[in-house]
Structure formats: C-alpha cells, structure tokens
Amino acid sequence: MRILLIGSGAREHALARALAADPATTALVVAPGNPGTAAVATNLDLDVLDGAAVAAAAQGMAADLVVVGPEAPLVAGVVDAVRAAGIPCFGPTGAAARLEGSKAFAKDVMAAAGVPTAMAHVCTDLDQVAAALDAFGPPYVVKDDGLAAGKGVVVTPERDAALGHARACLARDGGDPTTGGAPAVVVEEFLDGPEVSLFCLCDGTDVVPLAPAQDYKRLADGDAGPNTGGMGAYSPLPWAPPGLVEDVLDRVARPVVREMAARGTPFTGVLYCGLALTSRGVRVVEFNVRFGDPETQVVLARLASPLAQLLRAAATGGLGAAPEPRWHDAAAVTVVLAARGYPGQVGTGDPVTGVGAAEEVPGVHVLQAGTRDDGGRLVSAGGRVLSVVGIGADLAAARAAAYAGAARIDLPGAQLRTDIAAGR
C-alpha cells in the first residue's frame, strides 16, 4: 500500500511511525513532514491547503490511500479533491468537517441526534454574550465558533475575561452558514468532572473505537495557566467507569454518524469525542474531526494491530468487515516540550539537543513537531516542539520513562508540565 500522509506535527510523526510499521505499507510520503518523519518516510514540500496540489501529489506517487492529519486541510475540502481524483482518502469531506469547523453546527447536529452535551447559547454580538454569561454564571465557558488550533476556549471565573475573549473572537472575519455567515462564539454551561478523549473511526455507517486517553490542556502544573493545544496525555484510564466506551458509542458516536448520513454528508475518518464525565453522566465537550494531539501519541503507542489497513477500511466503507484493533497491555505517557513564550509569542530558532540520548532510555521514543533542520542542526520552529513518549508496564513506569527521556533533552526556555499522569 502506497500512502500519502498530510501534516507536520507530532501527531503526524506518530501516525507515520505506525503506518510505516504496517507490513502492508510499501511506500510512505509525508507532506510537508518534519525532521522526525524524514527518518521513517519521504518528506514532500506541499501546500496542504491546496486540494488540487494534494490530489496531484497522490496521483504522482500512485497512492492507494491519503491520510489527512490536521483540521485545516479537512475543513478546506482537501478530502473532496482527493476523492474526486479517484483515490481513497481517510478523513471527512469539507461539509462533514464542519463538526469541528463550527461549534454552532456541532451543537445543531447534537441536538438533532439527541446527544448529551452542555447547554449553550450561540452568540453573534456582545449583548448576546453578556446575557448568556449571566444566564449560566461562573465559571464562564466561551468558545470561538471556528478553528483556533486548540486555543479558542476560555474557562474563567472572571466575567471581564470571558467578555474580552468573546470580543476578540467576534472581531475575526467570516463565519459559518449555521450562524448566517457571521462570526460567532458559543457560551456554555461549565461541565464538572474529568475529561476523556475517545477516537472513533467511521466509514459513514460503522464506528470502531480506539483506546480512550486523557490529555492536559492547560500550560502549567495543577491545570494553571492558559489553554494550549495540549501539554501531555496518557492511556489507558484505569479509573474510567466500566462500559464507558460502549456508552459513548451508543449515545454519542453512532447517533452523530446516523444524523450526518441523514443530512447527506456521511462522516468518514476520525470522530474525536471530547467528553466530560459529569455528575449527570457523559456529556460532549467538543467534537474534532481528526486524531487529537497529544492523545494520538499515546493511543498509537499502545496499538498492537496494523494501522494502515484499518484506515483504508474506514476510507473505503469496509470497517464492518475489518478486524477489531488490538492493544498492548502496556501503558503510555507523553510529555510535551513547548517553546519559550508558548502559547503566546513563540520563540523559534533555538537549538534542540539530546533527542538521541532521550531515545536511549528504555521504552522512550521522541516525536517531533515544531522543529526544522538548520544546516544539520535541529532547531525549534513552533510552539509545541517535541512529544516525549514513555511506554511501561503500568502508568507509573511509563511516566517515569517519559520524564527520564525529557530530562535528557535541552531546549532553551523549554516549558513542560511535571504532573502528567501523576497519581493515576
């Protein structure tokens, strides 16, 4: 199987490692990739938002499958262009990707499908926002309706901070048809309880779950600081209630897949269910339409069965006949090393050393994201620079390995949490 993988982050590095390990994979190209993916695949410089260019690249390499990693190309309709060229593509169409591209649209789908989620108001001006904040009370939850690279959500006890975030979101250009084309924010009730991420592979009809994980969205220890794209994750979840996965399939994933099909926009690819296990039961916090980062790093580290064949089955309507995924008993923990200034003004060009030394720690591998090759030197080139993954017999062992690996890496001004999977 010849595969073109779209993206350049640690998620794509994790996907590339798993795809390359599948015996069915005969060629793997990552566009644009990063210095880490170059070790397991061929990198290709490509505008990943240009559907025609992606389709042409897939045709040029005679690809049997295209896998689109990030959300922006999905929302831009890259999958549509690849499928129009007659090539199987893992990911939702542009119309189906609105589940992530517009939170207002996702709320509309959940309401129609009877999916449990937070009560919410979709607001297109500050007066509506103020009224919604007063209706729900603190802590206030304000979400940018559109894509925001994992940083469009503010949860705060301060009303002025919530209004300020809403004001910034409403000042952007463009909106979704669900809101009449106007920029919008979604103001929600606060959901109590721990959060869980569950990736569900979908082929338009059937749904296959992967292993649950938990990520850490805030920058600093103890869930302090601003929201980020994710600072670490772990799997499995020994504290999760029995039957959680089947409950989510029955009450969330399958109803959404049925509703999307009924609307004429069948959903294929990954339905990322971001969940809160509240005192009133499971509630959907958000949907994404791709593998999450950094949860992918730990979920794929535990996958024991071939990935490429499973993704192709999802892309071609064959999940119902595909073997169920198999999982290692081992646990996995990932710790993100972020650049100085992240998630604000990020410093780049700093030397990154010690990756090889980190991978000498038993059970450790390092996934690259915000990196580039500078004349043979590895330097930082983005906010989240590396994901250090530790694998062990249990979470304590996996956590110890991940932090032992991270300790061997030097990145000036690096930021990392020290409490990933602590006490689990």
What pLDDT shows up at residue 21? 97
| In the predicted structure, residue 64 carries a pLDDT above the cut 90 | yes
Evaluate if residue 150 carries a pLDDT over 60: no
Do 207 and 316 have their domain in common? yes
Per mean pLDDT, which range of 7-11, 124-128, 264-268 is the poorest?
124-128
pLDDT, the chain, mean: 95
Looking at residue 372, which CATH number applies to its domain? 3.90.600.10
Question: Tens digits of per-residue pLDDT, 304-326?
Answer: 999 999 999 999 999 999 999 99
At residue 221, the pLDDT reads 97
Residue 104 belongs to some domain of the structure: no
Residue 180 has a pLDDT of: 65
The average pLDDT across 112-119 equals 95
27 beta partners:
2
Residue type, 190: F
Within this chain, do residues 351 and 398 fall inside the same structural domain, yes or no? yes
Question: Can you give the pLDDT at residue 88?
Answer: 98
Average of per-residue pLDDT across 104-124: 93
Same-domain check for residues 132 and 178: yes
Our count of domains for the chain comes to 4
Which CATH number does the domain housing residue 58 bear? 3.40.50.20
Own/partner long-range contacts of 345-351 (Cβ < 8 Å, ≥24 apart): 346/370, 346/382, 346/383, 347/380, 347/413, 348/379, 348/380, 348/381, 348/382, 349/374, 349/379, 349/380, 349/381, 350/379, 350/380, 350/411, 350/412, 350/413, 351/377, 351/378, 351/379, 351/410, 351/411, 351/412
Q: Residue 28 sits in which domain range? A: 2-90
Query: Is 123 inside any structural domain?
Result: yes
Query: Are 377 and 315 found together in one domain?
Result: no
Residue 10 included in any domain: yes
Q: Mention every residue, 6+ apart, whose C-beta is less than 8 A from residue 274.
A: 195, 197, 284, 285, 286, 287, 288, 292
pLDDT exceeding 90 applies to what percent of the chain?
A: 87
Check whether residue 210 and residue 302 sit in a common domain: yes
CATH assignment of the domain containing 304: 3.30.470.20
What pLDDT is stored for residue 149 in this prediction?
59
Within a domain: 108: no
- Within this chain, do residues 202 and 172 fall inside the same structural domain, yes or no? no
| 179 and 206 both lie in a single domain | no
Split at pLDDT 50, 70, 90, the class of 44 is: very high
Residues above pLDDT 70, as percent of the chain: 97
Model pLDDT, residue 326: 98
- pLDDT on residue 148: 64
Q: Please tell me the predicted confidence (pLDDT) of residue 155.
A: 87
28 contacts 66 by C-beta, under 8 angstroms: no
